[in-house]
Amino acid sequence: MFSRLGAAAARRPLLIVLVWMLLAASWLALAVVGVTGQGLFDRLHSGEPSVPGSESQVGRQIVDDAATTGESITLALADVEMTDPEQLAQVQRTLNALRPNVAGVEGVAEVMDPFQVPGGLEDPAAAVLLSTAGDGFVVTVTLEPDLSATTEAAARDEVVDLLRAVPQDIGPEVDGLVSGSHLITEEIVGQLEQDLQRGELVALPLSLLIMVVVFGGFLAAGIPILGALASIAGGLGALYGFSFWLDLDSAVVNVVTVMALGLSIDYGLLIVSRYREEAHRLLREVEASPTRRSRSSRKPKRGKDELGRTALVRTMATAGRTVAFSGLTVAICVASLMVMRADVLKAVGAAGLSVVLIAVVTAMSLVPALIALLGRRLMRPGMLTRIPGLRALFARLGDVPPEHGFFSRLAVVTQKRPWIVVLLTTAVLVVLASPLLTVHLRNSTLEMIPEGSEQRQFLQLIEESYPALATPPVSVVVESVAAVDVAAAIAEVSDVTGVDPPRAIDDTYSLLGVRLEGDDAGGPLATEAVAAIRDLRETADLGEYWVIGQAASQVDFVDSMAEGAPIAGGLVVLAIFVLLFLMTGSLLIPLKALVVNMLSLAAGLGATAWVFAEGNLEGLLGFTSTGGLESYVVAMAAAFGFGLAMDYEVFLLARVKEHWDAGEDNDTAVRNGLQRTGRIITSAGLVMIMVFGGFMTGEMLMIKQVGFALAFTVLLDATVVRILLVPATMTMLGRANWWAPGPLRRLHARFGIQH
């Protein structure tokens, strides 16, 4: 099958490239514009993670179902001289003009400000809307429920414009900030788009530069980049399709785009490198042939075309098979997220799976078609190799790896003292993984908004100056008849500083706001308070109630991860074990690969915890620590990081197995396999680091954490693990690497995957 794919690409390269251009353009247009004018970024969501059937989700649903009003839009004013009669009069004039204008907007249900309260500004009802420092107040506009999307959007935009004009109408020294749930989502998604563009602007040029060095020219280096661009377009189109099936969190787009870019470049790099290797091998065979001169003198061009086709067929039969196998392993790892209960992880798993498959299809069709179109030119050294100052560099790094070089010499050193190498590298990985023992997992929502942004400033202003309006870190939905008793019991819980008076949400239920020491919605105190409040059911007869809010959602999310992890991990381990057995015919190699890759992943996550949870390198990386790691990050980094580790494992094992099958002894096969793939693995790893590092330049904290976790995991895997630890362990095992019981050997002989 893989040989036929190579032959098909050689026969119809232009048609394949044109089809891919049409598909990529269509996918990109679909993602940007959509079917009805609503593109991918218009369909993204942001908020507390939802775990279907969890206590927090059920309680939130009760609140949503009982809601009798629509979205609220709030203006918070600061630096108002409330004691100045002249400015106070101007405030009254401005609000008197504002109220009828806002109330006249179609879809507005209510306008509320402290100057409407019958008892005046001294009334407790008005005090809630006044700042604690007495230098500002808030105006809240509530929309009608069940508005059509068009009417709601028009009403929201008109109200926001009217509210934003208020500060200047009062006085030039007055500041005002406008916020609402939709504005917060817009800011998060807008920042996401900026981070995405910035990441690509950083990652693509650096990736191209690395591949120019690897290949010694722009022509060969450009092929993986073109494949990556097609994969990104396909990934965005797939995400748009998934948005009709799943609620896509705003962070999903960046993660999936990063994977499309990195994997496509990895696979394109492997195929282009193998093609040049096979082409050079065929050229040497032709040069050594006694009839070369007579054949080449008759039809030189046709002879080179035939050589290129043969090289492409051989490439797809070897590297193409490796790409398909590697893509399958990554797809299995990513798809494991789909067994989790949390909607956001299901979305990441489904979208990530589609992107991996698109990257594989691109590498198996578009990349070989581009090679076929440029085949003869790819066989020649790149133009940059003619520059005297760069010639020596490209002679060592570019074109085709020599039979003996840096990586084979490194393998010789490793094989002399394999036990020492194993102990030292394992110790390094264990030390790096140690911060995971004390890490706190959290699910930030509003904390993801960059410092200094308008919506972040609004939320900080509300917390500092309008504490009664700030969303409590923990809320409790309770039957109204038991609200007073439940509130009294909760007030006795450790670290609870107060419970807001019950607020009826319908005829049956009320809502209690729970205030905590520090009020960090995602911190350890909040999660401990959630557990303590839920435990009250066992010690007191308080009836039925549901703990909700960011902290409760975080607890339910982490619990759902712990619940789904054994199933997801078991499926990944079983599938990878079977696939590696079919590839190698060994029982020990799959077991060793799983253990080593888990250790590598733990080290990457441990380093991420050390940086982001413990607040190290804040200035260098431009973030403020929240005291924990995002739960999303752990789940996604585990799935994608383990998949990438298996990606490089397959690259190396496939080549070592080739040499073993060719009759070489174990140590020689390891040395030669490492020499042939070491440059590809380190180059591909460096490209991945650039890709992930590019997205670390953005502002979104979660994207920074994912980018760092994956970049550091790849750095460890492509150097310490793949270049040192794996060759050392394979040397220690010797011939036992390839052992399997007789029945399994016969099974592998029948169903095994071989080049």
Q: How many CA atoms lie within 13 A of 717 on its CB side?
A: 38
Phi then psi for 180, rounded to 5 degrees? -175, 165
Q: Give the model's pLDDT for residue 396.
A: 55
Residue for token digits 């308070």?
529
Q: Give the model's pLDDT for residue 284.
A: 77
Q: What is the DSSP string of 253-292?
A: HHHHHHHHHHHHHHHHHHHHHHHHHHHHHHHHHHHH-TTH
Q: What is the DSSP letter of 450?
A: P
Would you state the structure tokens that stand for residue 214, as one six-digit string? Answer: 């690897």
For 71, the 3-state DSSP assignment is coil
Residue 71 placed within a domain: yes
Same domain membership, residue 235 and residue 119: no
For 543, the 3-state DSSP assignment is coil
Same domain membership, residue 250 and residue 334: yes
CATH number at residue 89: 3.30.70.1430
Residue 529 placed within a domain: no
Same domain membership, residue 314 and residue 223: yes
Contact 32, 346 (CB under 8 A): no
Q: Please name every residue paired with 702 in a beta bridge, in sequence order, or none if there are none.
A: none
Point out the domain boundary residue: 346, 362, 380: 380
Point out the domain boundary residue: 134, 168, 185: 185
> Would you state the torsion angle of the CA atoms of residues 354, 358, 360, 361, taken in this order, to the nearest 10 degrees?
130
Residue 138 placed within a domain: yes
Helix, strand, coil fractions of the chain, as percent rounded to 5: 70, 5, 20
In our burial notation (b when 16+ CB lie closer than 10 A, e otherwise), range 543-577 reads eebbbbbbbbbbbbbbebbeebbeebeebbbebbb
Going through 495-540 in order, the beta strands assigned E by DSSP cover: 496-499, 503-504, 509-516
Contact 222, 209 (CB under 8 A): no
CATH number at residue 245: 1.20.1640.10
Q: What is the DSSP letter of 137?
A: B
In our burial notation (b when 16+ CB lie closer than 10 A, e otherwise), range 356-390 reads bbbbbbbbbbbbbbbbbbbbeebbeebebbeeeeb
Q: Give the model's pLDDT for residue 531.
A: 92
3-state secondary structure 217-263: CHHHHHHHHHHHHHHHHHHHHHHHHHCCCCCCEHHHHHHHHHHHHHH
Q: Residue 436's Cα: distance from chain center in Å?
A: 20
Of the candidates 648, 635, 638, the residue with the CA atom closest to the CA atom of residue 598: 638
Q: Give the model's pLDDT for residue 296.
A: 47
Contact 728, 421 (CB under 8 A): yes
Residue pLDDT, tens place only, 126-141: 788 899 888 999 999 9
Contact 139, 166 (CB under 8 A): yes
Same domain membership, residue 270 and residue 220: yes
Q: Please name every residue paired with 419 in a beta bridge, in sequence order, or none if there are none.
A: none
Same domain membership, residue 220 and residue 177: no
Residue 85 placed within a domain: yes
Q: Give the model's pLDDT for residue 25.
A: 92
Would you state the structure tokens that stand for residue 161, as one six-digit string? Answer: 């414009």
Q: Give the model's pLDDT for residue 752.
A: 66
Burial label, 352 (beta-carbon count in 10 A; 0-12, 13-18, 19+): buried
Residue 661 burial (CB count, 10 A): 13
Same domain membership, residue 261 and residue 176: no
Residue 111 placed within a domain: yes
Going through 113-190 in order, the beta strands assigned E by DSSP cover: 138-143, 175-180
Q: Which domain holds residue 166?
A: 66-185
Spatial separation of the C-alpha atoms in residues 177 and 160, rounded to whole Å: 10
> Would you state the torsion angle of the CA atoms of residues 335, 338, 343, 348, taken in this order, to the nearest 10 degrees?
0
Same domain membership, residue 263 and residue 140: no
Number of helices and strands (H, E) in the chain? 28, 11
- Rg for the chain, CA atoms, rounded: 31
Same domain membership, residue 228 and residue 304: yes
CA distances from 221 to 51, 109, 212, 274 (A): 44, 60, 5, 13
Q: What is the DSSP string of 700-729?
A: -HHHHHHHHHHHHHHHHIIIIIIIIIHHHH
Same domain membership, residue 70 and residue 23: no
Number of domains forming the structure of the chain: 2
Residue pLDDT, tens place only, 154-180: 999 999 999 999 999 998 889 999 999
Point out the domain boundary residue: 347, 380, 413: 380
Q: What is the DSSP letter of 501?
A: P
Residue for token digits 């909607």?
343
Would you state the structure tokens that stand for residue 78, as one six-digit string? Answer: 């600061």
pLDDT < 50 positions in the chain: 293-300, 302, 755
Residue 302 placed within a domain: yes
For 179, the 3-state DSSP assignment is strand
Contact 24, 234 (CB under 8 A): yes
Q: In sequence order, which residues have a C-beta less than 8 Å from that of residue 381 and are 6 or more positions away? A: 216, 217, 394, 398, 399
Spatial separation of the C-alpha atoms in residues 180 and 183, rounded to whole Å: 5
Residue 257 placed within a domain: yes
Q: Give the model's pLDDT for residue 251.
A: 66
Q: Residue 117's Cα: distance from chain center in Å?
A: 48
C-alpha angle 518/521/523, rounded to 5°? 75
Phi then psi for 496, rounded to 5 degrees? -85, 120
Same domain membership, residue 336 and residue 261: yes
Query: CA torsion sign, 449 to 454 to 455 to 458?
Result: positive
Of the candidates 56, 627, 701, 704, the residue with the CA atom closest to the CA atom of residue 341: 56
Q: Give the model's pLDDT for residue 370.
A: 92
Spatial separation of the C-alpha atoms in residues 265 and 687, rounded to whole Å: 8
Contact 639, 350 (CB under 8 A): no
**Angle of the 550-584 helix axis to the 631-661 helix axis, nearest 10:** 0
Residue 305 burial (CB count, 10 A): 15
What is the pairing mode between strands 629-630 and 441-442? parallel
Q: In sequence order, which residues have a C-beta less than 8 Å from that of residue 422 and are 6 or more positions away? A: 725, 728, 729, 732
Same domain membership, residue 107 and residue 254: no
Residue 199 placed within a domain: no
What is the pairing mode between strands 108-112 and 175-180? unpaired
Q: Residue 411's Cα: distance from chain center in Å?
A: 34
Spatial separation of the C-alpha atoms in residues 566 and 430, rounded to whole Å: 22
For 465, the 3-state DSSP assignment is helix
Same domain membership, residue 322 and residue 249: yes
